[in-house]
Amino acid sequence: MIGSMDSRCGAASRYGGSYAPGQARGTSPSSNRSREAQAPTSTATVRTRTEKDSSSLKLTLRTNEGDTVEISLDAQNTRTIERGRVQTQGASASLNSDTRPSTFNASVKVNGDLSDKEMADIQSLLSALASGKAPEDTASNSIGTYNFSLQQSREVTRAKVQIFA
């Protein structure tokens, strides 16, 4: 059996057979036949690719009246694509798989009693941040201070396995 494996972290290979001094490479001492003449009767190949995207957002604010609000959002999307094929002398089979699980978590904590004006100003702040614009700073704004952080990451891994028998 001859096999090989290749992945994002490196590659490894293993080949079977024997070799004696004075003998041509790829031949067996007992039969002196070439390994190329002994073609594999079965092959299998599997490829996998995984993509992971993560995002985390945190907004903390304090109103002019001293109320505090904390909003947290976390999302993770994963995509795994698998492709495989097995072939023998008389038959073949293939595998195609594409999965996309996702998770989303949201949390809102309010300490105090928010007025309608404070709620409207928080909505305006969220709309401005969502559009990528700086929020308008007016004297009529009821939000005293806020902190905003966004973290995003992406990870991609690939693997390939082949087996010849």
pTM: 0.60
What pLDDT, on a 0 to 100 scale, did the predictor assign at position 140?
62
pLDDT in tens, 13-43: 333 333 344 444 444 444 444 445 566 789 9
What pLDDT, on a 0 to 100 scale, did the predictor assign at position 11?
34
What pLDDT, on a 0 to 100 scale, did the predictor assign at position 37?
54
Q: What are phi and psi of 119, to 5 degrees?
A: -60, -45
pLDDT by residue, tens only, the chain of 165 residues = 444 444 443 333 333 333 344 444 444 444 444 445 566 789 999 999 999 999 999 999 999 999 999 999 999 999 999 999 999 988 999 999 999 999 999 999 999 999 999 999 998 888 888 887 777 665 568 898 889 899 999 999 999 999 988
What pLDDT, on a 0 to 100 scale, did the predictor assign at position 113?
94
| Residue 58: CA count within 13 A, CB half-sphere | 5
Query: Do 86 and 43 meet the contact criterion of CB atoms below 8 Å apart?
Result: yes
Q: Going along the chain, which residue ranges are E strands? A: 2-7, 10-14, 43-63, 68-87, 92-99, 102-111, 143-164
What pLDDT, on a 0 to 100 scale, did the predictor assign at position 131?
82
